[in-house]
Amino acid sequence: VQLQASGGGLVQAGGSLRLSCTTSGPTFSSGGMAWFRQAPGKAREFVAAYRWSGGLQYDAESVKGRFTISGDSAKNTVYLQMDSLKPEDTAVYYCAAATALGYGYNNYAREMSYNYWGQGTLVTVSS
């Protein structure tokens, strides 16, 4: 299974970007996908998760109200719409896929919940 992330780039503060992540594998009804990010010199952190069954979404507090995760199972693709971007959102954004994903923040935010990872796409927000 391969994950292909795209959509990163350079944007001014207050602007928007939409990231896409397409998986070459099937979308398991018990699974889901997520976005993580890693800023320079910092640990990778959870951003948002999406469950294929029911379309349940979960956003980290740091992006709540600004970022929206969504999915299209027909296209095996998850999107991350990022609005009101801030310089502190600058990071490499990684998508990840889980064949079976438990419920709750502890499962969504745990890197080991995910079986497959994409290569990352760089988002740079200028002030």
| DSSP string computed for 4-21 | EEE--EEEETT--EEEEE
Does residue 107 contact residue 101 with C-beta atoms inside 8 Å?
A: yes
Whether 27 shows a pLDDT value over 80: the answer reads no
pLDDT band at 33 (very low <50, low <70, confident <90, very high): very high
Higher pLDDT, 9 or 27: 9
Residue 42 above 90 pLDDT? yes
- In 3D space, the residue among 69, 124, 68, 125 whose CA is nearest the CA of residue 96 turns out to be 69
| Contact assessment for residue 56 and residue 50, using Cβ atoms and an 8 Å cutoff | yes
Name the residue with tokens 């740091």.
62
pLDDT for residue 26 is more than 80? no
Query: Residue 64 pLDDT more than 80?
Result: yes
